[in-house]
Amino acid sequence: MDDRWQYLALMAGCLAVTLPLELFPGVRVYRRLRTLALVLLPVVAVFVVWDLVGIARDHWSYNPRFVTGIELGPMPLEELVFFVVIPICTVLTYEAVGSVLRIARSARDRGRRAGA
């Protein structure tokens, strides 16, 4: 693989690994786009500002070998993609864990009632 696609490939991999979590009972992250957007907007806004300040102050930069060269101002496209993808993966994981815990609690409670 051409090195300049590595960052985007990693983001695609993160989405691919967490996508099946959408199939867990009660997990509807992608089906609640308005809620997802409301979760993403403040996160993306804060971290874009953070990155832009860091770039402007020369606190960090991006190795051109590992990014496509598409830039949004001084920030590579991949960084914005990161700020969207990682929170989506986090919300999917959080919702899936919650789903599993609800199912486990329900099964435990049924078992207690049956044994009582």
In sequence order, what DSSP letters do the residues of 24-37 get, joined into one string?
A: STT--TTT-HHHHH
Average pLDDT, integer, range 85-97: 96
Instruction: Cite the DSSP H helix spans in the chain.
Output: 6-18, 33-56, 77-115
Count of Cβ atoms closer than 10 Å to residue 57 Cβ? 8
Asked if 12 and 84 count as a contact pair (C-beta separation under 8 A), the reply is no
Looking at the predicted structure, is the pLDDT value of residue 52 above 90?
Answer: yes
d(CA 76, CA 54): 13
Q: Which residues pair with 76 in a beta bridge?
A: 71
Per-residue pLDDT tens digits for 72-81:
999 999 999 9
So what's the pLDDT on residue 116? 60
Looking at the predicted structure, is the pLDDT value of residue 49 above 90?
Answer: yes
So what's the pLDDT on residue 39? 93
Whole-prediction pTM? 0.86
Tokens of 89: 């993966």
| Closest alpha carbon to 52 in 67, 72, 37, 68 | 72
Q: What are phi and psi of 72, to 5 degrees?
A: -110, 90
Looking at the predicted structure, is the pLDDT value of residue 111 above 90?
Answer: no
